[in-house]
């Protein structure tokens, strides 16, 4: 009896569905034309303006649904920044090629003396090559990130076609990024090292103006302006590496550790003291975008300057490579390009045409002869 009752109950429930008859639902009327508590227009306006909403996931940056500055950053990075960087680097190479064609290699006017003297110690060589070697790696991997997709052409624009160039670019881009991140710390260490070793010899002095007045003798033969251990041109390179390397390191750390700290909001706050009206409240994602643009611009400027430095220290000037190759230089080369330094090192009186305004230790009677 119990089974029969249960069966009849299920049959009764199923009958309307089998017969196709819909049962009316009882209840109140469904409310219509209700605007709710918030306006849809206001909500989407907030989304479009990039306002940050509350999210429950760990990544709080997801609270910004639309960040319109991202499109501005992309267009600026792939447009003016990429074009500027390309023209600056290519332009520097063209200028150096023209200079070499007109001036040729800068020779030692008095010829090689076959007498060598120590210019840099082993620690100085290590500091230089640690900085230089790491910068070359960073420069190449950074340029590959910026221009690699253009150099490899359509092979990258067609993701379905994995050509050899496409695979090569994928390989270099992936491992280049890893190398860029890790080698960066070697570069930072090198910058600190050369700063400690050479800052005392790179303070600008009055004799640097004399060097600049004649272009360092780079454009004329038998012109050798006074210079100590570093001339004005080398001091410019030094401070470019120190200041540029520092700002590259800071912006690079911002990109390697995103959303950890920002550089531009506090920097803008300081600059506003000068009467500027720069924003001091910058969203974290926009801090990353500004850091990337700044990193790229400073990098291409430094790369172009270092290209000139490499040129003059290798094929551009006779005897210059030895200074950083072995630390030893020909004495005649040293006298022509760093006459005051030679006089101080050997305990000699400065050359008559190398007046340094009394700045030399020789003039003060403080120098002591040192072994060559």
pLDDT score, position 33: 64
**Measured distance CA(260)–CA(195) in Å, rounded:** 27
Reply yes or no on whether the pLDDT at 18 is more than 60: no
First to last CA, the chain: 120
Q: Element (H or E) spanning 292, and its range?
A: helix 284-312
Encode pLDDT of 296-315 as tens digits. 999 999 999 999 999 999 99
Give all domains of the chain, ordered by start, each with its CATH number: 67-99+117-346 (1.20.950.20)
User: What predicted TM-score, i.e. pTM, was given to this entire model?
Assistant: 0.80
pLDDT score, position 227: 94
Cβ atoms of residues 148 and 165 within 8 Å: no
Encode pLDDT of 26-61 as tens digits. 666 666 666 556 667 887 787 777 777 787 777 767
Question: In the chain, pLDDT over 90 holds for what percent of residues?
Answer: 62
More confident residue, 134 or 62: 134
**Measured distance CA(165)–CA(309) in Å, rounded:** 32
pLDDT score, position 162: 56
* Mean pLDDT, rounded, of the chain: 84
The segment with the largest mean pLDDT, out of 12-26, 148-162, 228-242, 345-359, is 228-242
More confident residue, 6 or 113: 113
Task: Provide DSSP, 60-97.
Answer: GGGGBS--THHHHHHHHIIIIIHHHHHHHHHHHHHHHH
DSSP assigned state of 317: B
Encode pLDDT of 254-277 as tens digits. 999 988 888 999 999 999 999 999
pLDDT score, position 158: 53
Residue 231, judged by CB atoms within 10 A of its CB (0-12, 13-18, 19+), counts as buried
**Measured distance CA(270)–CA(275) in Å, rounded:** 10
């Amino acid at each position: 009896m119990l089974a029969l009752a249960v069966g009849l109950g299920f049959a009764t429930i199923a009958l309307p569905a089998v017969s196709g008859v819909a049962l009316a639902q009882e209840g109140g009327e469904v409310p219509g034309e209700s605007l709710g508590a918030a306006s849809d227009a206001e909500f989407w306006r907030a989304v479009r303006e990039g306002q940050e909403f509350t999210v429950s996931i760990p990544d709080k940056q997801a609270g910004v649904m639309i960040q319109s500055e991202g499109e501005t950053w992309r267009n600026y990075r792939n447009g003016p920044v990429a074009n500027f960087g390309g023209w600056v680097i290519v332009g520097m190479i063209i200028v150096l090629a023209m200079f070499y064609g007109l001036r040729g290699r800068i020779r030692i006017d008095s010829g090689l003396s076959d007498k060598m003297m120590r210019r840099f110690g082993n620690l100085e060589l290590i500091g230089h090559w640690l900085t230089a070697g790491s910068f070359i790696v960073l420069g190449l991997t950074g340029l590959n990130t910026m221009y690699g997709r253009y150099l490899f052409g359509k092979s990258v624009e067609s993701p379905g076609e994995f050509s050899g160039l496409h695979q090569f670019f994928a390989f270099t881009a992936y491992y280049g990024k890893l190398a860029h991140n890790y080698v960066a710390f070697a570069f930072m260490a090198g910058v600190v090292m050369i700063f400690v070793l050479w800052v005392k010899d790179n303070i600008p002095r009055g004799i640097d103006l004399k060097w600049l007045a004649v272009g360092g003798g780079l454009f004329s033969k038998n012109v050798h302006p006074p210079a100590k251990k570093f001339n004005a041109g080398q001091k410019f390179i030094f401070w470019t590496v120190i200041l540029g390397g520092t700002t590259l390191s800071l912006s690079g750390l911002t990109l390697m550790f995103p959303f950890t700290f920002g550089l531009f909001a506090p920097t803008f706050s300081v600059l506003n003291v000068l009467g500027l009206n720069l924003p001091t409240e910058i969203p974290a994602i926009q801090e990353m975008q500004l850091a990337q643009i700044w990193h790229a611009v400073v990098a291409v400027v430094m790369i172009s300057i270092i290209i000139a430095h490499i040129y003059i220290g290798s094929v551009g000037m006779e005897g210059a490579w030895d200074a950083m190759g072995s630390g030893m230089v020909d004495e005649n080369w040293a006298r022509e390009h760093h006459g005051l330094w030679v006089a101080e090192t050997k305990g000699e009186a400065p050359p008559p045409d190398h007046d340094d305004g009394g700045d030399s230790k020789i003039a003060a009677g403080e120098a002591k002869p040192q072994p060559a």
